[in-house]
Structure 1
Amino acid sequence: MNGEHRYALTATWTGDLGSGTSGYRDYSRDVTLEVAGKPALLASSDKPFRGDPTRWNPEDLLVAALAECHLLSYLHACVQAGVVVTSYVDQATGLLREDSSSSAKFEEVVLHPRVTVASESMIEAAEAAHRTAHEWCFIARSVNFPVRHEPTVTVG
């Protein structure tokens, strides 16, 4: 995986309610995110920031990116370790804290992967694979807040 990898998307604001951004309450935060060859993703700001709670928001997308990056890195680490994963479900959570200046930042994201492996002999290696996955996850390595893991590994 040497070299550069570039990613491109188009973010289109679709929230003009007739008077543009004439006032803070006069426009919607609706956005359409598009990547060539993929379905459009309807996005907005989070509800506390005057957004549409039925759409994806940047905070959701950040937590999702961290969870998916770890999941994919983990599956790769398991293959290399000889661990057969038969199920993986993560209930990831993120904590965004507002400060006194009405700004905010993520304090942490916690991944809660529930992994099922094929054999009891694989549990120890499956648990260790989470550490490897964390080292490999370039998105987790790119953020300036902790990404923690609280995994559960069972045999199925």
Structure 2
Amino acid sequence: MAHREHKYPVTVTWTGNQGTGTSGYRAYSRDHVIESAGKPTIPGSSDPAFLGDRTRWNPEDLLVGATSACHKLWYLHLCAEVGIAVLAYVDDAEGTMVEGEKGRFTQIVLRPRVTVRAGDDVELAGRLHHEAHEQCFIANSLNFPVRCEASIQTE
């Protein structure tokens, strides 16, 4: 298989200078915007535990969201290929991060609730989550476990 390279240009602009820059730990906001040409701007900050704005996306949220979205996109693709019609998909994903000498994620758990068309192969629909995980670009790039606890129902 030919290897193709893809690039994803993103600009992150810090908007949190409150007049004195980073003159002190509490002297600045963690707010920033994440932009990429032709796409809506994402308002970002840090986790509230690190003096961030809880109404804005933080990097940890985005990592969990990217992992969940990548898995979902592969899953929908694989279902379409085998003739399983996914009618609804909701994932209540959760990441766990621990602080220590170096803060790091220890796991992400995906909990997709999938509804498929009546008469479709529910067992196969369940197994395709494993293949979606194997194909997911984001999960393949992480150095911690990503688990999937899926449930499948019919319409």
Q: Same fold (TM over 0.5)?
A: yes
Letter in 2 for 1:105: R
Q: Distance in 2 between matches of 1:122 and 1:2?
A: 33
Contact 1:86 / 1:116 at 8 angstroms: preserved in 2?
yes
Aligned to 1:84: 85
What TM-score do the two structures reach when normalised by structure 1? 0.96
1:153 is the counterpart of 2:152: yes
Task: Give 1:125 shift.
Answer: 1.0
User: Could you list the runs of 5+ residues in structure 1 that have no partner in the other structure?
Assistant: none
Aligned to 2:138: 139
Aligned to 1:44: 45
For the aligned residue pairs, the C-alpha RMSD in angstroms reads 1.1
Aligned to 1:119: 118
What TM-score do the two structures reach when normalised by structure 2? 0.96
Contact 2:111 / 2:151 at 8 angstroms: preserved in 1?
yes
Report how many residues are paired.
154
Q: Distance in 2 between matches of 1:120 and 1:151?
A: 19
Structure 1 ranges of 4+ moved more than 2 A: none
Q: Indicate the SS of the match to 2:29.
A: coil
Q: Distance in 2 between matches of 1:121 and 1:50?
A: 48
Letter in 2 for 1:17: Q
Letter in 2 for 1:33: I
Aligned to 1:20: 21
Task: Give 1:119 shift.
Answer: 2.4
User: Could you list the runs of 5+ residues in structure 2 that have no partner in the other structure?
Assistant: none
Task: Give 1:80 shift.
Answer: 1.6
Q: Indicate the SS of the match to 1:96.
A: strand
Task: Give 1:108 shift.
Answer: 0.2
Letter in 1 for 2:53: D
Q: Distance in 1 between matches of 2:110 and 2:85?
A: 20
Task: Give 1:2 shift.
Answer: 4.1
Contact 1:21 / 1:27 at 8 angstroms: preserved in 2?
yes
